[in-house]
Chains A and B, each alone.
Chain A
Amino acid sequence: GENVEQHPSTLSVQEGDSAVIKCTYSDSASNYFPWYKQELGKRPQLIIDIRSNVGEKKDQRIAVTLNKTAKHFSLHITETQPEDSAVYFCAPAGGYQKVTFGTGTKLQVIP
Chain B
Amino acid sequence: DAGVIQSPRHEVTEMGQEVTLRCKPISGHNSLFWYRQTMMRGLELLIYFNNNVPIDDSGMPEDRFSAKMPNASFSTLKIQPSEPRDSAVYFCASTLTGESDTQYFGPGTRLTVL
B97–chain A nearest beta-carbon distance, Å: 5
Establish whether residues A89 and B43, one from each chain, have CB atoms under 8 Å apart when the complex forms: yes
**Interface residue range, chain A:** 20 to 34
Closest Cβ neighbor of B3 among chain A residues: A43
**Interface residue range, chain B:** 20 to 34
B59–chain A nearest beta-carbon distance, Å: 9
Alpha-carbon distance between A32 and B98 when the two chains are bound, in angstroms: 11
Q: Does residue B14 face the partner (Cβ distance < 8 Å to A)? A: no
- Give residues in B with beta carbon < 8 Å to A: 31, 33, 35, 42-45, 48, 50, 55-56, 58, 91, 95, 97, 101-103, 105-108
Chain A to chain B contacts (Cβ below 8 Å), 14 pairs: A36-B103, A42-B107, A43-B105, A43-B106, A89-B43, A93-B101, A96-B50, A96-B56, A97-B55, A97-B95, A99-B48, A100-B45, A101-B35, A101-B42
Given contacts A32-B101, A49-B101, A97-B95, 10 further A-B contacts (CB under 8 A): A1-B58, A34-B103, A43-B91, A44-B43, A44-B105, A97-B31, A97-B48, A97-B50, A97-B101, A99-B103
